[in-house]
Structure 1
């Protein structure tokens, strides 16, 4: 077995392992969230009672504080205030501090993680898209980084083979995911997937590309392949709604870049060989019908249907 074949096999194995791990983690998280929801329902009455008690004690505690200051600033004998009321106040303060100790570090860690991860994630996403591949949001982020690192080192063929296998293995789930999000497009999208499975890539690719454009228009009222001032129209959408330093901005970054899939004639060199929407739909390319390019088109429509639909549904 050659070194390249070994690298490809290792990368494919890595992707499958991460996919299985991601599915297990997702199930575990769903179980935790369910238990958390049940716990919140149980605890809610207690929290409401505590809030009501705290509110009723506020006047008493205020009076206590006032008298404490008066006594401390005068020459009157130091009389002790009711111990039970001080105990309640001390317990409330301890609870507040303990919650801060738990919650604040957690949020600080999340914020730190988000500050460090967006640039790394964006770089990997753009590298993949430059080679015609688009990130599957079901793929663990560390796998994306590993693919990006491999492309940076020049292991293009290994990444191509690994992603070809990855998306081929996920065909059924991706099809179900897209049709579930866009049921009005189900008939057309299913026809495109059927053509891909029959190896009729000349038929599947144009449909995937046109439906990608249609999904963008439907969700954000911007066409994926149209440009304005040299940038994709979807870039306007991304720039208007997303802060530039967030993880969401990194995830949507391929929508804001001019990439080979939408490159104009001026942007395409003489040796250009990537999948290109204009060349396919306008009949300029006659050799686009390959399995790899059909999977690249699937990766694109899968990516767009995930990131735009989920972003549009966010509060």
Structure 2
């Protein structure tokens, strides 16, 4: 993402802030006035409702009489309009619409530009072995993306290590709540991580990642089809939902964690599922790699949360 992209995103956030402030200023008096009117006329409207109920039998008899005495003019009775301020209430509603509609049009325009930016940021993270925690504030994602693009990889990695280490309890609890039948396995993996036994935690975390994908969308992350993870099949099915597809884009693109033997260049030394589980890598057991595996299993459990509205 270049400087212009970041400027546009910054502009979007400033626009949202201005819209929020404007809505607060403009809607406040309108909502208060409408509330006063509704409170003032509530007894009258309630009386009108009661009157209508009481007159219903009489009006029904009138209709029957009109059918029997065709040709005879029977006076028609109507319930009086006891809401003289109906027009005023309507004016306030129109005023609300005039404020809210343009504001939401601006928001919709901004959100239309978000998916490609989100996808670009998430894919860059994945290329370095890290995955999004959906509890991170969105601006943090832009900060990470900008720093990585500027070559500040070590600084970003240090920040991510600190972040995920601070979120261990939250991530474990959230995972166990979502997949209680896997909680005993994930608990063992997290215990191994906290004890510094990273050679034990990482394989378990990677295995659970694949297991969740198979369980929820019936596709494996670490199996390929047309050089893409098989989970790409699921992501392509929801492509019309551009925001959700952007959030799931790491499940549809090749990344070092799932790189095959032919995709790994000479000197490849990143965390790789095949190399770990097939005993090819003998030095994968580091705290950083364990936290990367935690970020991955956490991302997958959030992104593929059962019955989720998106992620």
TM-score by length of 1: 0.70
Tell me the matched-pair count: 237
Residue 160 in structure 1 maps to residue 160 in structure 2 = no
Q: Secondary structure at the match of 1:243?
A: coil
Contact 2:175/2:301, CA 8 A, preserved across alignment: yes
Residue 174 in structure 1 maps to residue 177 in structure 2 = no
> How far apart, CA to CA, are the structure 2 residues paired with 1:102 and 1:259?
45
Determine the structure 2 residue equivalent to 1:203.
200
> How far apart, CA to CA, are the structure 2 residues paired with 1:86 and 1:189?
63
Which residue among 140, 143, 162 is the counterpart of 2:140? 143
Determine the structure 2 residue equivalent to 1:314.
309
Determine the structure 2 residue equivalent to 1:286.
282
Q: Counterparts in 2 of 1:143-292, with a 5 A limit?
A: 143-243=140-240, 246-292=242-288
Cα deviation for residue 118 of structure 1 reads 1.7
Once the two structures are superposed, residues 139-159 of structure 1 have per-residue CA deviations (whole angstroms, 9 ceiling, x without a partner) of 101011101111101111111
Determine the structure 2 residue equivalent to 1:297.
293
> How far apart, CA to CA, are the structure 1 residues paired with 2:98 and 2:276?
58
Once the two structures are superposed, residues 43-91 of structure 1 have per-residue CA deviations (whole angstroms, 9 ceiling, x without a partner) of 9xx8xx89x99xx9xxxxxxxxxxxxxxxxxxxxxxxxxxx89966643
The root-mean-square deviation of aligned C-alpha atoms, in Å, is 2.4
Structure 2, unaligned runs of 5 or more: 1-37, 53-80
> How far apart, CA to CA, are the structure 2 residues paired with 1:176 and 1:169?
13
Cα deviation for residue 222 of structure 1 reads 1.1
Once the two structures are superposed, residues 216-246 of structure 1 have per-residue CA deviations (whole angstroms, 9 ceiling, x without a partner) of 11111111111111111111101102326x3
Q: Counterparts in 2 of 1:40-189, with a 5 A limit?
A: 90-91=87-88, 93-189=90-186
Cα deviation for residue 93 of structure 1 reads 4.4
Q: Which structure has the bigger radius of gyration?
A: 2
> How far apart, CA to CA, are the structure 2 residues paired with 1:106 and 1:209?
44
> How far apart, CA to CA, are the structure 2 residues paired with 1:171 and 1:209?
16
Structure 1, unaligned runs of 5 or more: 1-42, 57-83
Cα deviation for residue 110 of structure 1 reads 2.5
TM-score by length of 2: 0.71
The higher-RCO structure (CA 8 Å, 6+ apart) is 1
> How far apart, CA to CA, are the structure 2 residues paired with 1:198 and 1:85?
74
> How far apart, CA to CA, are the structure 1 residues paired with 2:260 and 2:219?
18
Q: Secondary structure at the match of 1:137?
A: coil
